Structure 1
Amino acid sequence: MSLIGGIVVFSITWFVVLFTVLPWGVRTQQEDDHVAPGTVESAPVNPAIWKKMLATTIITGILFGIFLWTVEYGIIDYRSIVNRNA
């Protein structure tokens, strides 16, 4: 896999994992019984975005490592799968 291909796969995977991690542990203002004036009730109380971005990077690193390992050692031949379906 080329460097650019690896960056693209990592970036796409990172954003997919981010959108799965974002709802973890979110409490809304309505659940916390304290709605700040001028905000909606469904706004998060403490989104902890930096922790979620760190968790996203760690999870993506593990998934990308597994993917890279399968590609580099030919465990799964992705090119034959793509060429067969084309």
Structure 2
Amino acid sequence: MTQAIFSTVAVYFVVWWITLFAVLPFGHRTQAEDNEVVLGTVASAPTKFRGWRVVLMTTLVSAIIYGGWFILTDYFGFSFDALPQIVPRYGG
């Protein structure tokens, strides 16, 4: 039971972390784009810090991805062992 919970949290954490880097650039406005470059910062720095929005969007998207993975593995029985049966092999 403990291993199943740990595995679930570990998989969700990996999905969340990968999703974070996919969601991060959406809606990003740089200081150069807004013509508000603050002295001592680079022009590519964000104009507004949107940390909570990024965390919320990452959590929402990763929950959808994880839910899809959970349904495919638990209810439909898909696994890495099933891939050779799904994907045909080419070659000799």
TM-score between the two structures when normalised by the length of structure 1:
0.84
Gaps of 5+ in 2: 84-92
CA RMSD of aligned residues (A): 1.9
Aligned residues: 82
The one-character-per-residue Cα deviations of 1:16-70 (angstroms, maximum 9, x if unpaired) are 0010111011111111111111111110001311011101101111111111111
Q: Which has the larger radius of gyration?
A: 2
Equivalent runs, 1:28-47 vs 2, <5 Å: 28-47=30-49
Structure 2 residue matching 1:20: 3-state secondary structure: helix
Structure 1 residue ranges, 4+ long, deviating more than 4 angstroms after superposition: none
What's the offset of the Cα at 1:72?
1.1
| Percent of aligned positions that are identical | 33
Greater RCO, 1 or 2 (C-alpha within 8 Å, sep 6+): 1
TM-score between the two structures when normalised by the length of structure 2:
0.79
